[in-house]
Structure 1
């Protein structure tokens, strides 16, 4: 189940600014820094993230066609703030993994409850 677009709009204007205050530091969360494909405007999008070696996996709770996903795929890379660090990531790809089997246990519970099956994987730039 992908969350409804109306909820995404609400979160963009109300929840995301608040979540952005802690998402860059809290375990299992991060902030994707990206630019709009058409506007060039800078955005900060709070996300749920898991790290496996140099691969970062981000839950796509609004589905694989969310604007921020399109932005970073078009750019070929993005910046992620997580656990107080800034990481440059490249080669973003959207993958399918039933209800967060790729995620840490805490994130997996949330993804299972939401039936969020897609995630974005990107590699850390050396």
Structure 2
């Protein structure tokens, strides 16, 4: 079971406005910039983000039908600002992993309690980094 959609709606309206300002600088978090698959609009979504050998893994806390997941999968990637650095990510793929092995050990029990076992894996694009983070937050 993933977190309820009512919590996702509340986060989009209230929490994301604050989290969007601090997430790009916090360990284990990031601000994902992605393009709407139908609207073409740019969205910024604060979320958990953990580095992997070749990119990042993003836990899917509200289910694979979340807008940010569908947008990133449709576009094949997006930009992630984390720890004050922006990286271009590509090769988006949705993976189910009940062991949660790709995330740090400290995060596994919390994600397990929330029933999170789906993750979006992204590969860092060659030469895809910048030091200028996007501002604001307005997406799910």
1:99 and 1:116 in contact (8 A); partners too: no
Of structures 1 and 2, the one with the larger relative CO (CA 8 A, separation 6+) is: 2
How far apart are 1:109 and its partner, in Å? 2.9
Worse overlay, 98-107 or 86-95: 98-107
C-alpha RMSD over aligned residues: 1.2
Deviating beyond 3 angstroms after TM superposition, the runs of 4 or more aligned structure 1 residues are: none
1:48 and 1:59 in contact (8 A); partners too: yes
Instruction: Give the unaligned 5+ runs of structure 2.
Output: 127-140
Give the Cα–Cα distance (whole angstroms) in 2 for the partners of residues 116 and 101 of structure 1.
Answer: 12
How far apart are 1:20 and its partner, in Å? 0.9
TM-score (norm 2): 0.85
TM-score (norm 1): 0.94
How far apart are 1:44 and its partner, in Å? 0.8
Instruction: Give the unaligned 5+ runs of structure 1.
Output: none
Give the Cα–Cα distance (whole angstroms) in 1 for the partners of residues 104 and 18 of structure 2.
Answer: 24
Worse overlay, 35-44 or 10-19: 35-44
Q: What SS does the aligned partner of 1:62 have?
A: coil
